Amino acid sequence: MLKKENKYFILDNPRKKGIRTFIKQNLIEIKSFIYKSLLDVSHPKITEKKYKVSVCAIFKNEAPYLKEWIEFNHLVGVEHFYMYNNNSEDDYLSVLNPYIEKGWITLVQWPHNQMQMESYKDCIKNFASETKWLGFIDIDEFIVPKSTDNIYDFLQPFERKRGAVIIYWRLYGSSGLIERDLKSSVAQDFTVCWPKYSDVGKCFYNTAFGFDFNTKKNSCLHHNFWANWHGINLPPVNIFDKICFGGRNVAKKEDFPIQINHYFTKSYKEYAIKRAKGDVYFKTNPHDEEYFYEHEMKCTSVDYSAYKYLIKLKLAMEKHD
């Protein structure tokens, strides 16, 4: 018997019920208490940096989506973008150049296939000193603050004692669209989503803490970032300040204060194009047609949280045409 969801989350990895799972979860709870105690006594030195919040993103042939993604995430408080180009063959430079000239983007050419985690580590090594917070998100992910209007206003209370914060996915489907005009807005076109949050999210790293480049705990650091304090690797907390590792995701309420809108499929034909173009992580993309429908069948709710930013987004898009 597998547990596929709980009150707040749809589980990415369904769990077996039984005594072994019960024991494992109790051990995780004990470790979580220890980790939280260590974080509570950590006091890293907070210094002013060039940026408050930046993101690192690796992209491949995503030119039609770059402009809106940059404008939306900048609108909610991302001050700088470290963009790693993974062998794109489209006209991405015509989109990025105006933002590079304005100083919003640092462009890095990254010709190494299936080396996404390595690009993130390269970004930490070379650019973490420039920004207080460094997030790791993809081009189909929009940060949507809800309790605040700016991501830094949300992250700042975590700054003195937390090394990384996970922001959960709100997963969106096709909204019944076979195809659409790619010049239209992703944030406006897609509103149909899963009824609960995914227990997967993306991490924002508090660069006042250190980073262990050798630990295996950071093998998938965009989802589960372990920061380092005085030589001790410590797991991330979530948006409710709960320790997260080993499948532990604790929520306080159904209305989450911030989310990442993950426009995973977009329209049916866009999903097909996405599968065909290659992937920055998987050598053979496992997201086939069956996976599309598996995802789509969970899309039974709507979420308009991004809509509060739409007027500002449209005006910013027009301004920077």
Contact status, residue 72 vs residue 185, Cβ threshold 8 Å: no
Helix runs in the chain, H state only: 19-41, 63-75, 92-102, 116-127, 151-155, 186-189, 268-276, 289-296, 310-319
- Nearest residue to 133 via CA among 59, 84, 170, 78: 78
Q: In the structure, what pLDDT confidence band is assigned to residue 2 with cuts at 50, 70 and 90? A: confident
Average confidence (pLDDT) over 70-99: 97
Task: Report the share of the chain in percent with pLDDT over 90.
Answer: 87
**Token pair recorded at residue 224:** 């589960």
Residue with token string 């408080």? 77
Q: How crowded is residue 93: how many other Cβ atoms within 10 Å of its Cβ?
A: 12
Taking the C-alpha atoms of residue 15 and residue 19, their distance in angstroms, rounded to an integer, is 12
Query: Tell me, what's the pLDDT at 109?
Result: 97
Backbone angles phi, psi at 281, to 5 degrees: -115, -50
**Token pair recorded at residue 124:** 């930490």
Contact status, residue 84 vs residue 108, Cβ threshold 8 Å: yes
Q: Does residue 161 register a pLDDT over 90?
A: yes
Q: Which residues contact 20 (CB under 8 A, 6 or more apart)?
A: none
Query: Tell me, what's the pLDDT at 284?
Result: 56
Query: Tell me, what's the pLDDT at 14?
Result: 84
Query: Tell me, what's the pLDDT at 320?
Result: 77
Q: Does residue 280 register a pLDDT over 80?
A: no
Q: Any idea which of 55-64, 85-94, 282-291 has the lowest mean pLDDT? A: 282-291
Backbone angles phi, psi at 231, to 5 degrees: 85, 0
Taking the C-alpha atoms of residue 116 and residue 121, their distance in angstroms, rounded to an integer, is 9
- Nearest residue to 58 via CA among 125, 130, 116, 122: 116
Query: Tell me, what's the pLDDT at 278?
Result: 62
Q: Does residue 286 register a pLDDT over 70?
A: no
Q: Does residue 279 register a pLDDT over 70?
A: no
Query: Tell me, what's the pLDDT at 304?
Result: 98
Q: CA angle, 190 as apex, 185 and 194 as ends, to 5°? A: 155
Query: Tell me, what's the pLDDT at 21?
Result: 80
Q: Does residue 128 register a pLDDT over 60?
A: yes
Average confidence (pLDDT) over 221-228: 97
Average confidence (pLDDT) over 59-68: 96
Burial class (CB in 10 A: 0-12, 13-18, 19+), 55: buried
Q: Which residues contact 30 (CB under 8 A, 6 or more apart)?
A: none
Q: CA angle, 279 as apex, 290 and 97 as ends, to 5°? A: 130
Q: In the structure, what pLDDT confidence band is assigned to residue 283 with cuts at 50, 70 and 90? A: low
Q: In the structure, what pLDDT confidence band is assigned to residue 45 with cuts at 50, 70 and 90? A: very high
- Nearest residue to 305 via CA among 178, 204, 168, 104: 168
pLDDT in tens, 195-211: 999 999 999 999 999 99
Query: Tell me, what's the pLDDT at 281?
Result: 52
Residues 214-226, buried b or exposed e (16+ Cβ, 10 A)? eeebbeebbbbbb
Q: Does residue 269 register a pLDDT over 60?
A: yes
Amino acid at 84: Y
Query: Tell me, what's the pLDDT at 158?
Result: 98
Taking the C-alpha atoms of residue 141 and residue 71, their distance in angstroms, rounded to an integer, is 12
Q: What pTM was estimated for this model as a whole?
A: 0.94
